[in-house]
């Protein structure tokens, strides 16, 4: 006769849900905000009930050396530049349970990419603020001696009150005294300056080009360079024979002065762009009647 226990159902092995709330060292992780290729961001609270955004490497620390180096580089850059109203707040970075993490300000809002995709009403109300404040964030970054090299709507957080925070400094590099070839041309191609795509020497004017792409997209809900394939888009981005459609042809509400600023940012030749973010900020403030 078979023992009674033979007929009992075996318990299924417990499968950990990576999206479920859980403990991470001294922090309680409540909600997954975003997950990328090498890192994820959670809403977290510490033992005193303070709320943060906690960004940590994926893979329980078993990521490749390049990904970890890039993550730690971003932490180091942010540690040097934070303390500005338009830069994401930074508290500390370290390692828990063998996993690298960084503790950031928790911003209640969405990134600009999501807002553009759904044509969020906050854009119509605060579009001028978003343009000027994003340029001021770049100005601060450059004054602190770094260029972003991945400036795009996804890396701009916007609160319901229209305040912005520039984030993600993993690809940032020291600002060179003269155009210099960077260690790599990593970034997001649709927002990269031609010299960055070609892996040629560059400086802060590469970020100004990226700002122009962001501003064009924010005001027209389309990018300045379009094509049926990514390769076709890049060809237009690089080739001056393909004129950029003036943004006022798509959105006639754009002030003429703002259109001129955007098109100057988008010059393929960096010598024709604004020389630095300080001039860009001043031009935007004048065009939008901000003293």
Active site members: 150
Q: Report residue 126 as tokens.
A: 């605060």
**Cβ neighbours for 166, distance < 8 A, ≥ 6 positions apart:** 86, 87, 88, 134, 137, 138, 141, 148, 151, 155, 156
The pairing of beta strand 39-45 with beta strand 146-147: unpaired
Burial class (CB in 10 A: 0-12, 13-18, 19+), 191: buried
Sheet containing strand 22-24, strands side by side: 22-24, 27-35, 39-45, 51-57, 99-104, 90-96
Distance from CA of residue 131 to its chain's centroid? 15
**Cβ neighbours for 277, distance < 8 A, ≥ 6 positions apart:** 135, 136, 138, 139, 142, 204, 207, 208, 211
Element housing 197 (H / E): helix 194-197
Are 57 and 41 a contacting pair, CB within 8 Å? no
């Amino acid at each position: 006769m078979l023992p009674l226990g033979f007929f009992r159902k075996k318990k299924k092995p417990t499968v950990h849900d990576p999206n479920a709330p859980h403990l991470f060292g001294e922090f309680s992780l409540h909600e997954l905000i975003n997950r990328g290729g090498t890192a994820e961001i959670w809403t977290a609270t510490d033992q005193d009930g303070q709320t943060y955004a906690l960004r940590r490497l994926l893979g329980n620390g078993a990521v490749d050396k390049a990904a970890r180096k890039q993550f730690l580089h971003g932490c180091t850059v942010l540690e040097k530049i934070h303390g500005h109203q338009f830069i994401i707040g930074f508290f500390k970075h370290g390692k828990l349970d063998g996993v690298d993490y960084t503790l950031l300000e928790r911003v209640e809002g969405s990134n600009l990419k999501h807002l553009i995709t759904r044509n969020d009403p906050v854009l119509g109300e605060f579009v001028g603020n978003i343009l000027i404040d994003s340029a001021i964030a770049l100005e601060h970054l450059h004054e602190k001696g770094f260029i972003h090299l991945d400036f795009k709507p996804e890396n701009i957080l916007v609160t319901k009150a229209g305040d912005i925070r520039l984030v993600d400094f993993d690809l940032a590099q020291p600002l060179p005294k003269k155009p210099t070839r960077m260690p790599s041309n990593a970034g997001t191609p649709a927002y990269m300056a031609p010299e960055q795509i070609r892996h040629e020497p560059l400086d802060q004017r590469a970020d100004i080009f990226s700002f122009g792409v962001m501003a064009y997209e924010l005001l027209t809900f389309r990018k300045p360079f379009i094509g049926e394939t990514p390769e076709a888009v890049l060809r237009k981005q690089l080739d001056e024979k393909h004129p950029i459609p003036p943004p006022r042809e798509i959105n006639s509400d754009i002030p003429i002065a703002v259109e001129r600023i955007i098109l100057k940012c988008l010059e393929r030749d960096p010598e024709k762009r604004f020389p630095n973010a300080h001039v860009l900020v001043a031009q935007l403030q004048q065009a939008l009647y901000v003293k």
